[in-house]
Amino acid sequence: MPSLVSLTTLVGYLAAHGSALSLPPLIPAIPGVTEPLSENAPPLPILQLPTPPLSSPPFAVSNIKPKKIGYFWTGAGDNQHKDFLATVSLDDNTFGTFIDITDVPSSGNSPHHLGPSVDGQLLVGGGLLSLLKTQDTAFYFDTSDPYHPKFSHSNRALLSSIVDEIRAKPEGGFFITYMGSAVGTSPGRLVETDAKGNILHEWPEDTQSTLNILEQQFSPHGLSIDWKKKIILTSDFVVPLSILKPTTGIQKADTLRLWDLDSRKIISTITIPNGQGIQDVKFIPGNKESAALATAVGPGQVWIIYPFRKDSKGNQGVAKLLYDLGDKAKESLAIYSDISTDGKLAYFTITLGNHIAALDISDLDNVKRLDDPNEQQPIIGPHYVKISPDKKNLLVTGYFVQAGDISVVNTPADYKGHWIDILDDGSLSFNRSIDFESIFTKSRGGARPHSSVIFDLTDPKNPIYY
């Protein structure tokens, strides 16, 4: 086991010399040779055969230029063809029209979260399972032409893998949670990039914070930043390697970490009792105490985090139960959220419960539920959710994770992008969706859209990238 001195020396070296790699597939593409190798390769325990992707048939590009664009970070259904970014119209008159498809040069990544830069010139998408084929784990797309994105580059970190939540820095670049270590265990890292997507640091780098993440499970998934108050919250979810066979069970965390933004140091660890996986955390816009909502997946609950309050022992950061989402949310494996920009409405996707919950949080002492928890909603496996910039719709993807025979996590899904109307009272009306599975069945063995980004170009002088 390395000493603390050698650990801090390594951390210092990486800080000084950068901490990113980008490597081509280990097995080159050879026509007539690698195709059958890829098609006939059996599932391996943990690591997968690092075969190149199969070529995908050309896609008919559209010349329409809608005011609202949805970008879907999507995996090929057969895990053999190239994973891709789908650019789709969200306008009423051309809804669901595919404008373009942008392939990445690898397959089997299990595309995960997607996020835009502040200026809308760059998207970054992570690969949940890229590590298993020893591939790059973060993929960057040039969106200077928003209707026809281009693949820019990919990279991987040295100390961490399993890309999760993405937040753009005001000055350019990103903060990104990497849930696992370089081999998918704990600890993960908070990764920081420059404006071009080059990895600058893998936080924490200081000794005290490093000891903090070595002391107990550190698997950061959720990420929220209060730029004015200069604090960061990350939430610990599960140890990625523990979802793969053989496993004694998924290792779930009960903790969040509170960070100082300026120093990138961990201030304290906040515990949600019996949280069993804190998948998501988001600051409530406009809240005077910088309160945040966190989802405790095991008990199916929403907790409120007060980062500036202190507990009985004087530790900074207090967690209090805000709302129990009911039976459908318990042991649902995944609960993801979004909060309206006015801080009044919050929506939660309950993956195994096939349900989206809507809460009025305008009064945190009197939270009101806006959906019927017993309703059978027309959606299967909802996960990623975005409130449209005009607050008229929710964009929800009906897919979480299907890692196949090597994993204990294979959630039911409808593989659709749901464009759901938000009614005047904040409740939901389901009426439109995009069926990725049927569209790509013949060309890529289906499609798995995990996450999305919305560009609203209605006002060309004030575009919104979310």
Give pLDDT, residue 7: 41
pLDDT of 293 strictly over 60? yes
Write down the mean pLDDT value for the chain.
91
On the question of a cis peptide bond just before residue 273, with omega within 30 degrees of 0, the verdict is no
Residue-by-residue DSSP string for 261-306: TTTTEEEEEEE-TT-S-EEEEEEPTT-TT--EEEEETTTTEEEEEE
User: Average pLDDT in the 53-73 region?
Assistant: 93
Please say whether the beta carbons of 102 and 144 come within 8 A. no
Mean pLDDT, residues 255-263? 98
3-state secondary structure of 55: coil
**What is the C-alpha to C-alpha distance for residues 101 and 447, in angstroms, rounded to an integer?**
12
Average pLDDT for residues 196-217, to the nearest whole number?
Answer: 94
pLDDT above 70 (res 43): no
**pLDDT-based confidence at 59, cuts 50/70/90?**
confident
% of the chain residues with pLDDT over 90: 84
Using CA atoms, how far apart are residues 218 and 176, in angstroms rounded to an integer? 14
Q: Provide the pLDDT for residue 47.
A: 64
Which residue in this structure is represented by tokens 């449209």?
A: 388
pLDDT at 115 over 50: yes
Quick one: CA dihedral 340, 416, 111, 382, positive or negative?
Answer: positive
What structural domains does the chain harbor?
Answer: 4-465 (2.130.10.10)
Between CA 257 and CA 75 the distance in angstroms is 31
Q: What is the pLDDT of residue 22?
A: 73
| CA dist 43 → 74, 309, 444 (Å) | 21, 49, 19
Q: What is the pLDDT of residue 50?
A: 76
Q: Higher confidence at residue 244 or residue 43? A: 244
Q: Quote the pLDDT of residue 12.
A: 45
Between 59 and 107, residue with greater pLDDT? 107
Instruction: Quickly state the pLDDT bin for 110 (edges 50, 70, 90).
Output: very high
- pLDDT exceeds cutoff 90 at 24: no
Please indicate, yes or no, whether the overall pTM of this predicted structure exceeds 0.75: yes
pLDDT confidence bin for 31, thresholds 50/70/90: low
